[in-house]
């Protein structure tokens, strides 16, 4: 069985599809409130010089998230 990739593992410019959200309660709710849900396509736009935050395009808008949040988003 191959290990699941997280959004943190995606390369800049790579379009990815969300397969599952990890985390519970407020963490998962916050991710979903930002428009990141199962099946949505995300493109990594930029990564800050020190690696945090990560800038994404989700549902046609720009969004920045922390690496710790990106680890809770499994991708295809």
pLDDT score, position 24 = 86
The mean pLDDT value for 13-31 works out to 90
**pTM of the prediction?**
0.85
Q: Give the integer Cα–Cα distance in Å for 45 and 43.
A: 6
- Neighbouring C-beta atoms of residue 4, cutoff 10 Å: 12
The mean pLDDT value for 11-39 works out to 90
pLDDT score, position 2 = 55
pLDDT score, position 1 = 46
CA distances to 12, 32, 35, 46 from 51, rounded to whole Å, are 12, 22, 22, 9
Q: Give the integer Cα–Cα distance in Å for 40 and 72.
A: 15
Structure token digits, residue 73? 């988003």
Cβ atoms of residues 57 and 40 within 8 Å: no
pLDDT score, position 9 = 87
Question: Residue 47: pLDDT above 70?
Answer: yes
């Amino acid at each position: 069985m191959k290990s699941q990739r997280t959004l943190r593992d995606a390369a800049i410019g790579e379009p990815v599809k969300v397969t599952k959200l990890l985390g519970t309660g407020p963490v998962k709710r916050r991710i979903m409130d930002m428009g990141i849900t199962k099946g949505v396509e995300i493109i990594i736009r930029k990564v800050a010089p020190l690696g945090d935050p990560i800038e994404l395009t989700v549902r046609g808008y720009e969004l920045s998230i922390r690496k710790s949040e990106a680890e809770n988003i499994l991708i295809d």
